[in-house]
Structure 1
Amino acid sequence: MSTPTLAPAALTPVDPAYAAAVAPFVTTLQPRPDLVVEARGPGDVVAAVRWAGAEGRAVTVQATGHQLLTDLGGSVLVSTRHLDSVRVDPATRTAVVGGGARWQQVIAAATPHGLAPICGSSSHVGVVGFCLGGGHGPLSRAFGTGADQVRRVRIVTADGVERDVDDVREPELFAALLGGKTGFGIVTEIEIALHPVTRLHGGGIFFPGEASPQLLAAWREWVGTFSDETSSSIALLRLPPDPALPPPLRGAFVTHLRFAHLGTADEGAAILAPMRAVATPIVDMVDEMPFAAIDAIHSDPTEPMPIWDDSATLSVLPAEAVDALLAVAGPGVETPLIMAELRHLGGAIARRPQRGHDAVAGRDAAFHLYALAPMFPPVAAVAPAAARSVVDALRPWASGGLPNFQGPAAGGRLGPLWDDPTTAFLTRVREAYDPDGMFRTVGLRG
């Protein structure tokens, strides 16, 4: 196979730098593209796409590698991780972000101006993949999804043309990108809205896992009282005996309540009081916090690891659904699961912006269910079934899924995440801009 002439290099599996160039954050699957191009600028992306088109090669893209669905075999992988510039305009409350930048870089650039992005639960995730997949985070109930913040996208389409798209310039492609996730091209730059948020009342509370029946029962009713300024999730965690964890949490089964409130500290404490009264906390970390510390709410892992995850959106969460979750992940259950999580949705997530059409999935969902298991021996053989058992247990109340939570269980397929009209729209736009299927959905950008 001939290779394109690009700077700095087009790498094949025999090159010493290949492994580092393709290394993902989620290491369950090891990417094995035929060729990897590490783009140092938009011109490298254009050249790689034009070369692949001339050679009849499939193209995939990776920024941080948080969300691989296949091993990318047979494709040309364009890595955008070096396209990580961030420019903040305080006057317009916007940021222009390179295709490979992570949220932590946007937060670092925005917070000195008293501004904040609508990011996810971990700032280690890539901005583009988050926003193109919809994007749900601790402030989404107040401000909408990550896709709702996007003002402009610069993308290299299958014809090797770099395009600026927005509500006016190629609006159908722009609408498809907002939630359609993948298969339209390679994003080199994205412009997003920022918000005047400097602090919040939030954090996490770790309760004994044995109290999970009482906590989940109280939580499902408690979140129904929220205004849009308040959000919460709750997770059943089986923590490893990690020396980095506080001693009471090492190797423990716990219930982790996550909380974020944009109002005053007194308001936040009053809202949280009913849950604090349900059980005695092991560790209570909810307090006033600067926005830059938002990762502390979920305390997601920051080191690469192999996992198997499965997920679904839920239309409702009746008491029977809580019982079903406890039956597969609650106290006394032998399971390799690290986490079984429920996130409360609604609020601004459910309201489509007035600007026009988009492809954000799950706006009508009330909750999101997520299950995660490690793929380490000896539990790797049973991890997929354990994650699937959580989703299957709550299947009667499931309404669909979110693109950003489709892991290896999706098998490289997006599945029925959108309604029929949106699926038809996405298919039509993909065929218009990529008629030969160059950007095959053999993986989701992460």
Structure 2
Amino acid sequence: MTASTSTPTSSTSALLPDDPAFAAAVAPFVTTLTPRPDLVVAARSPSDVVEAVRWAGAAGRPVTVQATGHQLLSDLAGSMLVSTRHLDTVRVDPEARTAVVGGGAQWHQVIAAAAPHGLAPICGSSSKVGVVGFSLGGGHGPLSRAFGTGADQVRRVRLVTADGVERDVDTEREPELFAALCGGKTGFGVVTEIEIALHPVARLYGGGIFFPGAASPELLHAWREWVTTLPTDTSSSVALLRLPPDPSLPPPLQGRFVVHLRFAHLGSAEEGAALLAPMRAVAEPIADMVDEMPFAAIDAIHADPTDPMPIWDESATLSALPAEAVDALLAVAGPGVGTPLVMAELRQLGGAIARGPERAFDAVAGRDAAFTLYALAPMFPPIAGIAPAAARGVVDALRPWAIGGLPNFQGPASGGRLGALWDEETLARLTAVREQYDPSAMFRTIGLR
């Protein structure tokens, strides 16, 4: 293959913008931006990735990577996009309690493969998210307070670096690169396979409780005190939701402003119910969906949207959540506030998230945070023009307690701020690793170079 070749050749599926299959190949889950790379390579094997990267190197083309498109930070203009969504194999080793997962696989595939063995991964609030991006970006979910971040579960990464070499890296083989990948997420190569730890979790006591939005002051103030009493095998988040009049929602929730309390407890149902009792007593629920559940039903806890949509989101990590912070949140997203926001959310961190594994260095951002703050507004007309300011206003209101952010919660608004997620020492090491393995900056990263 030479630099004069117009597209990668061989069995690789290389699509140009005028190809009828191009739009489907680049379609993201978050549709705020429309990807418009110069071409897309729909890799169906690791050798396809190797060939594509070597061609890009010879042709002097920048490379971007996409699996599910849940986190599109730019329109990818001028790049060659390597799509890994077809690399979606999953192999579970029940004795080792590990799973080997292809670069494009989603969490629901891992959950389904692990469940027959009584095992579960550390996934996020939606099983439709890609495994690789979630894990390498740190990754927080309902089991993270008990077992750590998604990055802490990674045992091995196979990737194709800018020189077109496919490498297996772990704590013994190229440990500096491995540590950078586990938290640093992007800019090191195209991940074709990842090996992660699984945990002996077959069930939990969990779900969500919907309360009237009018009770949000009492509920949020009670929640901020209550979560400090929870053991590490228990996690919770709370969201102020402005639900659309969607007929697919239960009738009591259609078109309503509600408080959604999420809860997950690994102990018995009796223990979980006792822990949850103080919050159940704060207000009369509209719907209480917390109960014993198989781990495979974990999506029911957050009930995240499953259809692609355009959104504008903003986020931050918080050092604490005093009463003043709750009041500030209510002032911009609580009862009586006219806003295009559909969600303003707080998630509890701590527990095993705050501890890191033994690695060359720890590239996971936000271990010292107590909570995450997340605001989301849809980018549909006619509110698209005011949605960014509304989401930004939520984070600005809690700025006195903000100490950073998480890579997986950064959207198009993050611009050049991604580099600010790490302290100077960690960012310097991440930059050094990127420059070692990708000296010409072939792999595009936003705000990191």
Name the TM tier (shorter chain). over 0.9
Aligned with 1:336: secondary structure?
A: coil
SS at 1:313 equivalent: strand
Q: Partner residue of 2:282?
A: 278
How many residue pairs were aligned?
444
Asked if residue 361 in structure 1 is aligned to residue 365 in structure 2, the reply is yes
Taking the TM superposition and a 5 Å limit, the aligned residue runs for 1:45-84 are 45-84=49-88
Determine the structure 2 residue equivalent to 1:138.
Answer: 142
Q: TM-score by structure 1 length?
A: 0.98
Q: How far off its partner does 1:353 sit?
A: 1.5
| Residue 16 (structure 1) aligned with residue 7 (structure 2) | no
* Equivalent residue in structure 2 for 1:334, among 329, 338, 348: 338
Preserved CA contact (<8 Å) 2:418 2:447: no
TM-score (norm 2): 0.98
Preserved CA contact (<8 Å) 2:419 2:447:
no
* Shift in CA distance, 351/73, structure 1 to aligned 2, threshold 3 Å: same
Answer yes or no: is the 8 Å Cα contact 1:103–1:127 preserved in 2: yes
C-alpha distance in 2, partners of 1:443/1:250? 39
Q: Structure 2: which 5+ residue stretches go unaligned?
A: none
User: Which one has more relative contact order, counting CA pairs under 8 Å at least 6 apart?
Assistant: 1
Question: The residue matched to 1:321 in structure 2 has which SS?
Answer: helix
What is the distance in 1 between the residues matched to 2:366 and 2:188?
Answer: 21
Report the Cα offset of residue 408 of structure 1.
Answer: 1.3
Deviations 1:28-62 (Å, cap 9, x if unpaired)?
A: 00000001000000000000000000011100000
What is the rounded CA distance, in whole Å, between the counterparts of 2:383 and 2:10 in structure 1?
43
Work out the percentage of aligned pairs sharing the same amino acid.
82
What residue in structure 2 maps to residue 430 of structure 1?
434
Residue 396 of structure 1 corresponds to 400
- Report the counterpart of residue 384 of structure 2 in structure 1: 380
Aligned mates of 2:373, 2:264 — CA distance in 1: 19
Note the C-alpha offset of 1:442.
4.2
Extract structure 1 runs of 4+ deviating beyond 3 A: none
Q: Which of 243, 256, 278 is matched with 1:252 structurally? A: 256
Shift of 1:413: 4.9
Closer, same or farther: CA 413–18 of 1 in aligned 2, 3 Å: farther
CA distance in 1, matches of 2:228, 2:447: 36
1:347 to 346, 351, 357: 351
Question: In structure 1, what is the Cα distance between the partners aligned to 2:56 and 2:414?
Answer: 26
Alpha-carbon deviations, 1:53-82, whole Å to 9, x = none?
001110000000000011000000000000
Contact 1:69/1:443, CA 8 A, preserved across alignment: no
Aligned pairs (5 A) from 1:204-283: 204-283=208-287
TM-aligned CA deviation for residue 286 of structure 1: 0.1
Q: Match of 2:312, as an amino acid?
A: W
SS of aligned partner of 2:298:
helix
2-structure distance, mates of 1:323, 1:110 = 42
In structure 2, the CA distance between the partners of 1:37 and 1:412, relative to structure 1 (3 Å rule), is farther
Moved more, 356-365 or 11-20: 356-365
Contact 1:214 1:278 in 2 (8 A): yes
**Given the alignment, which residue of 35, 38, 56 partners 2:39?**
35
Helix, strand or coil for the counterpart of 2:25? helix
Give, in whole Å, the separation in 2 of the partners of 1:412 and 1:378. Answer: 28
The secondary structure found in structure 2 opposite 1:341 is strand
Q: Alignment RMSD, CA only?
A: 1.1
